[in-house]
Amino acid sequence: MAKWQKFKRKAARGSGSLPYAIDHSAFQVGLHVFADGACEPNPGLGGWGVAVYRDGLEIASDHGGDADTTNNRMELTGLLRGIEAAKALGPPATLWCDSQYAVKGANEWMHNWKKRGWKKPGNEELKNIELWQAIDAALSGADQITIRWCKGHAGIIGNERADELSNIGIASVLGVQVPQEPVDYLTAEYRDLLTE
């Protein structure tokens, strides 16, 4: 099976029965940014994706990839790009990520790493330090951006879209053209308002 077919199948698989109820109405109001990363195998080819929704409609997306990376690096890159998108579109915003590593790192662990000179307890070297430092810098002065965890592959539309985009990021590294319809829900008038 070609590598891209595996990613396509993975992105298209259904979520099956959900283990918990999801209140999708929470994503219908305000600015919600979904970030994800993928790597196949890990380490190996990786991709990241960001999907931005305002009042329930996708207004922007981005993706990219790396030929030699890890899943954690791609999750952090997606988080960083998501923070940058939220700042550009104007907070308040909620940034959703299905990586506990990325969410707990940004919300709980990063402050102590920074106090220790970007070291883990016991003076242990911090992995992905340049990405954590970039995330810290991006969050500086961004008090109205909340980073929250969401369950992956659970039917949350924005998370599923970010996952799809991360797989498209992997495909781009392979040089595979992925047919996708452009998503542009913005009218010319709304686009003008965003750029003012």
58, 62, 66, 75: the catalytic one is: 75
Is 82 one of the catalytic residues?
no
Listed in sequence order, the residues at least 6 apart from 111 whose beta carbon sits closer than 8 Å to its beta carbon are none
pLDDT over 90 for what percent of the chain? Answer: 68
Checking if the pLDDT of 189 tops 80, the result is no
Is 163 one of the catalytic residues?
yes
Is 14 one of the catalytic residues?
no
Q: What is the pLDDT of residue 90?
A: 86
58, 62, 98, 160: the catalytic one is: 98
36, 58, 66, 160: the catalytic one is: 36
Checking if the pLDDT of 11 tops 60, the result is no
56, 84, 153, 155: the catalytic one is: 153
Is 153 one of the catalytic residues?
yes
Q: Average pLDDT of the chain? A: 85
Q: What is the pLDDT of residue 8?
A: 42
Between 23-27, 29-33, 59-63, 141-145, the lowest mean confidence (pLDDT) is in: 23-27
| Half-sphere exposure of residue 46: CA atoms within 13 angstroms, side-chain side | 20
Checking if the pLDDT of 191 tops 70, the result is no
Question: Under CATH, to which class is 28-195 assigned?
Answer: alpha beta
105, 163, 164, 169: the catalytic one is: 163
Is 98 one of the catalytic residues?
yes
Q: What is the pLDDT of residue 141?
A: 84
For 74-108, how does the pLDDT look when each residue is reduced to its tens digit (9 = 90+)?
A: 999 999 999 999 999 988 999 999 999 999 999 99
The C-alpha atoms of residue 147 and residue 33 are separated, in whole angstroms, by: 9
pTM higher than 0.85: no
Q: What is the pLDDT of residue 193?
A: 54
